[in-house]
Amino acid sequence: AGIAFGLDAPYRIDYHDVVDSTNARARALAAAGEADVAVVAGEQRAGRGRVHRDWVSPTGGVWTSVLTRPVFPTAHAPAVTLAAAVATTDACREAGVDAHIKWPNDVLVGDTGERGGRKLSGILTEMEGEADRITWLIVGIGVNANVDPDRLPAGATSLWAERGEKIDRRRFLQRVLERYHRLTAEPDRILEAWRDRTSTLGSRVRVETGDAAVEGTAIGVEFPGTLVVLTDDGEHRRIHTGDCEHLRP
């Protein structure tokens, strides 16, 4: 479906040199009834992170949003976000960069940096639907591929900076989309793949949940992506969403 863009991708490719946000463009396509499309942009002028944060998206990056209409309950959507992190991590490793996942879906390199490593990629999931069925799901994936690190915020890095050489972005995108497509077809295998690639499990963490902060040791991740933290009081806390920081032991 993506052959027109020079990719053998499992989605139709909707390419733009410049957009505000590929997620916003994908929402418009969702409203128009489309499905199985990957919006791809050379550059984003108003890239978005979670909770209305900005996402810096200069040329050289891989900025994409995959729109699908999966037949599963809304409650399963977080697992799909994990699949995108697995797909991205594998593509980074194939490009020779030893990436790992920080819960829930940041892809990092190394263990030095502000919050557990240098951030290479972030994922923004949006959806609409009833409890028993998703109407549409958009998974936005941003990877600092051939981006000059001077153009990125503190604590961020790019594949180019880590390898010292640019990557083939088409090939990289194709790998991410293929892997994501395959994982989402087998949702039962996502968690296992995610656990194999994360640096969060076993780490001391501090998770900001919006109204509270939980500190302790990350001991598990349960379907569909719930983090289990063992606090110093011996309590098990289950966290559905939040910002996770790896602390030094």
Helix and strand totals (H; E) in the chain: 5, 12
DSSP state of 48: B
The interface mask with ligand BT5, positions 74-113, x = CB under 6 A, is --------------------------------x-------
CA distances from 232 to 143, 201, 202, 235, 245 (A): 35, 16, 14, 7, 16
Single-letter amino acid, residue 39:
V
* Contact pick of 21, 88, 146, 200 for ligand BT5 (by CB under 6 A): 21
The window from 75-83, 117-125, 162-170, 194-202 that contacts ligand BT5 (CB under 6 A) reads: 117-125
The window from 19-27, 180-188, 215-223, 224-232 that contacts ligand BT5 (CB under 6 A) reads: 19-27
User: How far is residue 26 CA from its own chain's centroid?
Assistant: 16
Is residue 142 part of the contact set for ligand BT5 (CB under 6 A)? yes
CA distances from 169 to 173, 206, 244 (A): 6, 34, 29
d(CA 229, CA 68): 32
Residue closer to ligand BT5, measured from CB, 142 or 224: 142
Is residue 116 part of the contact set for ligand BT5 (CB under 6 A)? no
Residue closer to ligand BT5, measured from CB, 117 or 216: 117
Residue closer to ligand BT5, measured from CB, 230 or 241: 241
d(CA 92, CA 108): 10
Query: For binding to ligand BT5 (CB under 6 A), which residues are involved?
Result: 21-23, 44, 47-50, 53, 55-57, 63-65, 106, 119, 122-124, 140-142, 144, 152-153, 156
